[in-house]
Structure 1
């Protein structure tokens, strides 16, 4: 028998029972926990879970809807997660259906924004999971990430102090919903 095949069989023979034992242990432990699946009071967990209905409606000013946004944004909006980086979605009131938010302070996605002012020839972009982002840190209260390689610009506004985890989490749904398009920086 081939030594590599023998090693693979041996590793599988050892690893598989350990994985099965862990799965059984986790399921049995979860079944014995009378609080499993329940929201625990704040004094037990340290903080009460935030529910979307507990958050106030977020009033947002948005750009006018363009034909490009009308053609592209519905696919993205239908592909967004209800929870993002551990934060629940929240209710939004705006002039367009192409805006979505999560958590408090809110992380806000707006589909169909104008090209960012700083996205010019020579400006750098950050690529995450195949999506190119222009990052604007000029506002001390937020960081604005704008996807610049899709049929429409998609903006993610993150509160100051929030890392790029929400942007990273949204790259896959964004790439699935909106096809790649060669970026076109301004002059």
Structure 2
């Protein structure tokens, strides 16, 4: 292994560790807080485990990162990280009675999967709608257009997470 390859591998390992810490909800002083790895139950948990097994090795050209310790409810690709969480809570914008409820929130359908779009600083957060479990994908601006990641995830989501009306 060349010195450049070894350095790249070390950076990749550091990125993987950082991605897991971010997903686990631990942050350093300069990082924005992130939600913890989801812990779905019942049918949503079963759908999320099936999704985990069906996820592609690459999303938007980025290789999947192995999270340690492992979880069957989250996945990460690339650096900066494209993050997926399955079994996340219903987004406030889709929750009647919540402060941010918006029944006309912007959504897009990608290869048979409907996604809520939420612009964030530095990228987009997409959350499935009309599925047995809510699947959230966060895509940094580095992967413009951010929606491309959803194309790579659509088959897995459509096959593993059954449709269910909101």
Length-normalised TM-score, structure 2: 0.71
CA distance in 1, matches of 2:45, 2:114: 22
**Long gaps (5+) in structure 2:** 24-35, 95-101
Contact 2:125–2:136 (8 Å) recurs in 1: yes
Aligned residue pairs, count: 139
CA distance in 1, matches of 2:134, 2:81: 20
Give the corresponding residue for 1:15: none
Give the corresponding residue for 2:122: 141
CA distance in 2, matches of 1:53, 1:149: 38
RMSD after superposition: 2.8
Kindly tell me: are residues 66 and 52 of structure 1, through their superposed partners in 2, closer, same or farther at Cα, counting changes over 3 Å? farther
CA distance in 1, matches of 2:44, 2:164: 14
**Does residue 169 of the first structure (1) align with residue 152 of the second (2)?**
yes
CA distance in 2, matches of 1:79, 1:53: 27
Q: Which has the larger radius of gyration?
A: 1
1:154 Cα deviation after fit: 0.3
Find runs of 4+ consecutive structure 1 residues off by over 6 angstroms. 39-42, 50-53
1:180 Cα deviation after fit: 1.8
Q: Following superposition of structure 1 onto structure 2, how do residues 71-110 of structure 1 map, counting pairs within 5 Å?
A: 71-93=46-68, 96-110=71-85
**Long gaps (5+) in structure 1:** 1-38
SS of residue paired to 2:54: coil
Length-normalised TM-score, structure 1: 0.64
Give the corresponding residue for 1:69: 44
Deviations 1:135-164 (A, max 9, x none): 111x21231000112100000011124221
> Comparing both chains, which one has the higher relative contact order based on Cα–Cα distances under 8 Å and sequence gaps of 6 or more?
2
Kindly tell me: are residues 40 and 62 of structure 1, through their superposed partners in 2, closer, same or farther at Cα, counting changes over 3 Å? same
**Does residue 154 of the first structure (1) align with residue 154 of the second (2)?**
no
